[in-house]
Structure 1
Amino acid sequence: MSFGFLGIQFGWGLQLANMSAIYQRLGASPDEVPILWLAAPMTGLLVQPIVGALSDRTWTRLGRRRPYFLVGAILSSIALFFMPTSTTLWMAAALLWILDASINVSMEPFRAFVADKLNASQRTAGFVMQSFFIGIGASLANALPYIFSRMGVTGTTASGIPLTVKYSFQMGAVVFLLAVLWTVFTTSEAPPEDMEAFEHERRHRSGPGALFAEIAGAVRDMPRTMKQLAVVQFFTWLGLFCMWMFYVPTVATHVFGATDPQSEQFARGIEWGGLTFAVYSIVTFAVAFALPVVARATSRKATHALALICGGVGLLSVAVIHDRYLLLMAMVGVGIAWASILSMPFAILAGALPANRMGVYMGVFNFFIVIPEILAALFFGRIIRGVFGADNPNASLYMVMVGGVCMLVAAACVTLVHDAGDASDDDVIGGDAHEPLTVQGSVQPVPSSGLIDRDPNS
C-alpha cells in the first residue's frame, strides 16, 4: 500500500534538489528564489484538506482513496516531463504550480490510506513503511543527475538547464506513474458496510458549502494533541524549507567556491549537493525500521525529539565544513530527522483522531506544514536583502543555519506534546457515531479491527 510513495517522493526529490538551481539558471537572483517556491505550500494549503474531505466521502469502483492517487499521478508525470524543457522563468514557475498541485492530490490520501487499512497497533509501523519508500524514492531522485554525469552525459538545453537534470526529470515522470499504478492495482479498500445509507448521507451533505463546513469544523474541533503537534510542525518545516531552498546552492558557493551560476564549478557543486541529498534519503530508509524499536524502548515523543536534534546539528555543521565528503556526515543527521518527521508526528496524531475523519484531519494537519513554508516564501527574500544583503555570497549558508536552529526549537517543543497513545476502542466507536459525512460503521479499518461489532449499540 505504501509503494506509491516511492514515486511521489521521486517527484518531490527531483524538485527539492534541483528547482533552486533551475530558477537561478533561468535568471532568478538568490533573493527571488523563495517567492518562486510559493507553489508548493500554497497548493498544499488549498488542495490537501479539500482532497482529504472529498476522499472521506468518495466511493467508486477503485475505492475511496485510490482514484485520487491515480489522477494526481497522471498530472504530476506530465508536469515532471516538461519541467526541464522550460525556456523562461515564468514557464518553470507555472509548471511547478501544476506539479505541486498534482503531487498533493496523490499524496494526501496516502496518509489517510494507511490509517484506514491498519488497526491502531499497526499504524506506527505503517507510517514508518511510508518513510522507507520515501527514502528510497528520494535517494534515487537525488542521485540521478550525478549518475548521469558519471555516465558521460554532458551539455545543456537551450535555456541552460543541464541535460543530466532534464533526463532525471523525464525518468522521474515514468517512475512516478508506474509506482502509483502499482499501489492502485495491487491494493484494495473495503466498501461502506451500508452503501445505501452512505449514498443517502453523501447526497444530503454534498456541495462546496458542506465541504468547506467540514474543513472549518475540523479546524475548530482539533484535538489537543493536534494543536501541540502543530507548533512542532511549524518549526520543523520552517527548518526544512530553509534547507531545501538554500542547501544545494550553499554547497556550490561555500564548499566548491563557485560565484557564477552559469559556471562549470557551480554545476559540479549542484550535482554534489544533490548527491548529498541522496545520502540523507538513504539514511532515511536505512533507519526507518529502527524508529519503532526506539519508540517502544523510550517513547514516540523522545524518539522524535532526538531525531530533530540530529537534524538541527547536521544543518548547523555545514557552516564549518569545507570538504565535500564531510557534507555526507552532516546529511546523516538530517536523514535521521527526516525518517522521524515522515512517521512519528502522523503516528502520534492518528491515535488522537476520530477514526471516521482521518482524511479531512490529515489534510488540515498539512496546514502546519505549508503555513511556515508560505511565510518562508514571502519573507525570506526580504530577510536576505535586509539582514545579509542581496549580494552577500554567504546568504544561502546563513539561511541553512537558520534551518538548523528551527529544528532544535522544534525538538524542544516536542516535549510539550501529549501523546495519547493508540486510540481506544471507545474512541473509534465514538468517532463513527459522530462522523458528519458518512454513516456509522462505514469507515475503514472496521472490517479488520472488528471494533464496531463489539459494541452492542453500533
Structure 2
Amino acid sequence: MQTQQPRLHFWQVWNVSFGFLGVQFGFALQNANVSRILSDLGADLHSLSLFWLVAPIMGLLIQPLVGAASDRTWNRLGRRRPFILVGAIAAAIGMLLMPNAPLFVTFMAPMIFGAVMLALMDASFNVCFQPFRSLVSDMVPPGQRNVGYSVQSLLINIGAVIGSILPFVLTNVVGLENTAQMGEVAPSVTWAFYLGATVLLGTVIWTVVRTKEYAPADYHRYKGIEVEQAPAPKQSMTTRLGNFGRLVVNMPDTMKQLAVVQFFSWFALYIMWVYTTPAITQHIWNVDKKWFDPAFIATVPMIPETIVMAKGAAGDWVGILFAAYSVFAAVFSVFLARLADRFGRKFVYSMSLLAGGVGYISFLVFQDLTIVNVNLLITQVDVPLGAVKLLVPMVGIGIAWAAILAMPYAMLAGALPAQQTGVYMGIFNFTVAVPQIVAGLCSGFVLSYVFDNEAKYIIVVAGVSMLLAAISVFFVKEADPVQTSN
C-alpha cells in the first residue's frame, strides 16, 4: 500500500489551480473598477475606503468558516471543490448585477445597491479563495509545494491581466463607450463584468471536473493522520467556537510572525486598489480634486465633457497599469520557485516587497502632462507621458504581488498540521483582512485631513508600509525552510 503522496505531473498541478484564473479575473475587474463605479454612483473620496471595507470584512467572516467546513466535508465532489463551485456561482451573480445598480433605483439608491453587490461578490470570492489554497496543500506533495503555489500565482496573474485590461479593450478595440455621468455606469465596464462572470464560471467548472480529490482513507494515509485524529463530522456550535478559539491562541509561531509581514503588505495593497484611480486622474490627467467631491458636483448643472473624458481615460489606464503589474507578476512567478529554492524564501520574499515599496513611492516622480501616442499592439491611444512612465513602478509592484501570492503560503504550509490545514488557512486570512480593515478605517481620514484629498500622497503611504513589510520578513522563522521542486 502506497504511503507516500504521489507526485503530480505538470498538468495536474495546473488543473488544480486553473479555476483561480477565473476567480482572479473577476477579482481584478473588481479591484480596477469598483472605485470608478462607486464614484460614478455618487461616492466621495473619503467614503470610498469605507465602501471597500466590505471586502476584508467578508474575508474575515467567511474564510475561517469555509476553511473549517471544508476540513469536515467529504462528498462526491470531494472536500474543497463543493465550496469552490458554489462560491463561483454566487460571485457570477454579483458580477452580473453590480454594474446594473441604476436599474434598481426603485428598491434602493444605486450607490447602496452597488455596495450590496460588492459584498456579495467579495463574500463569494472568499468562498472560492480559501478552498483553492487548501486544495493545493491537499493535492501537491511537500517536494512540489514551491512549484504548486508558483503555478497558482502564475494563473492568478494571467487572470488578473485579462480582467484588468478588459474595459480598455472593450473601449479602444470594440468601441464601447467608457464615460458616464453621475449615477450611471460606463457600458465598457458593464460588459466587462458580464464577460468576467462567464470566464469565472468556466474556469472553476474546469477545475471541478478535471481534479479528483483523494478519498478520505488515501488522504489520511498520505498525510500521516490516524483515523481517530480526523475531524469529527458533527460538533455543537459551542464546541466549535471553543475549538476555534484554541486554534487561534495556539497557532504556529511561523503564522504569528508572517502576520506582521501580511499586515504591512495588505495595508499597502488596499490603498492601491482604492485610490489608484483618483490618484492618477489627479496627478497624471490633471483633474482637480473638486471633481471627486459629490457636494461640489451637485452645484453644477453638468460635469464638463473634458472632465468626463479625462476620468474615463484615466479609469481605463488604471486597467492597463493593473494589467501591467499582473504581467510582471506572472513573469516573475515563473522564476519564483527556483529563486526561492536557491536563495531561500525569506530573502526572495523580502527583496520582492522592497521592490514594491520603491514602486509605490516612485509614483510621485512620474508626472508629465505631455500628450503622446502609444501603440499597445491591439490599438493606439493618446495619453499623458506620465501615464506611460507609470509602467516603470508597476515592475516592482508586480514582483511584490507575485511574492505575496505565493511565499507566505509556501512558508506557512509546512508549519500546519495536515488535518487542520483548511481552518488554519482560513484563520491566516485574518492577516489579509485585518490590515485592510485598518486601512479602510483610517486611509480616507488621512487622505482628507492630512493630504487635503491629494490622492497621490496616500500611494506614498502604501510604499512606506510595503518597505516595513520587507523588513519584517527577516523576523520569520520557517518550519521547513528547505523545500525542493526537483
TM-score, normalization: structure 2? 0.83
Residues 34 and 245 in structure 1, CA contact (< 8 A), matched pair in contact too: yes
Q: 2:247 aligns with which of 218, 225, 233?
A: 218
Report the equivalent of 2:202: 178
1:211 is displaced (CA, Å) by 2.9
Report the equivalent of 2:296: none
**Residues 1:40 and 1:354: Cα distance change in structure 2 (over 3 Å):** same
Alignment-mate amino acid for residue 196 of structure 2 = G
C-alpha RMSD of the superposition: 2.0
- Tell me, in whole angstroms, the C-alpha distance in 2 between the residues paired with 1:211 and 1:5: 29
Structure 1 stretch displaced more, 374-383 or 312-321: 374-383
1:15-71 superposed Cα distances (whole Å, 9 cap, x missing partner): 110111111111111011010001100000000001001100100100000000000
- Between the aligned residues of both structures, percent identity stands at 42
- Tell me, in whole angstroms, the C-alpha distance in 1 between the residues paired with 2:471 and 2:178: 47
- Tell me, in whole angstroms, the C-alpha distance in 2 between the residues paired with 1:194 and 1:181: 24
- Tell me, in whole angstroms, the C-alpha distance in 2 between the residues paired with 1:345 and 1:305: 11
Answering whether residue 316 of structure 2 is matched by residue 271 of structure 1, we say: yes
1:420 is displaced (CA, Å) by 2.2
Structure 1 residues without counterparts, runs of 5 or longer: 425-458
**Residues 1:328 and 1:201: Cα distance change in structure 2 (over 3 Å):** closer
1:419 is displaced (CA, Å) by 1.6
Answering whether residue 103 of structure 2 is matched by residue 107 of structure 1, we say: no
Report the equivalent of 2:98: 83
Q: 1:292 aligns with which of 321, 326, 337?
A: 337
Residues 234 and 369 in structure 1, CA contact (< 8 A), matched pair in contact too: yes
Structure 2 residues without counterparts, runs of 5 or longer: 1-15, 103-109, 220-225, 293-302, 368-385
1:82 is displaced (CA, Å) by 1.0
Q: 2:446 aligns with which of 377, 383, 390?
A: 383
1:204-262 superposed Cα distances (whole Å, 9 cap, x missing partner): 64232333233222211111111100000000000111111111221111111123355
1:202 is displaced (CA, Å) by 5.8
1:297 is displaced (CA, Å) by 1.8
Report the equivalent of 1:228: 257
Report the equivalent of 2:297: none
Alignment-mate amino acid for residue 101 of structure 2 = S
Answering whether residue 216 of structure 2 is matched by residue 162 of structure 1, we say: no
Report the equivalent of 1:130: 152
Report the equivalent of 1:398: 457
Residues 5 and 179 in structure 1, CA contact (< 8 A), matched pair in contact too: yes
**Residues 1:421 and 1:276: Cα distance change in structure 2 (over 3 Å):** same
Residues 321 and 327 in structure 1, CA contact (< 8 A), matched pair in contact too: yes
- Tell me, in whole angstroms, the C-alpha distance in 2 between the residues paired with 1:329 and 1:200: 51
- Tell me, in whole angstroms, the C-alpha distance in 2 between the residues paired with 1:210 and 1:65: 23
Answering whether residue 416 of structure 2 is matched by residue 353 of structure 1, we say: yes
Runs in 1 of length 4+ with deviation above 6 angstroms? 197-201
**Corresponding residue pairs, total:** 420
- Tell me, in whole angstroms, the C-alpha distance in 1 between the residues paired with 2:233 and 2:336: 44
1:410 is displaced (CA, Å) by 0.3
Structure 1 residue matching 2:73: 3-state secondary structure: coil
Q: 2:474 aligns with which of 403, 415, 419?
A: 415
Structure 1 stretch displaced more, 59-68 or 249-258: 249-258
Structure 2 residue matching 1:342: 3-state secondary structure: helix
Report the equivalent of 2:300: none
Structure 1 stretch displaced more, 153-162 or 402-411: 153-162
Answering whether residue 74 of structure 2 is matched by residue 59 of structure 1, we say: yes
Structure 2 residue matching 1:320: 3-state secondary structure: helix
**Residues 1:423 and 1:303: Cα distance change in structure 2 (over 3 Å):** closer
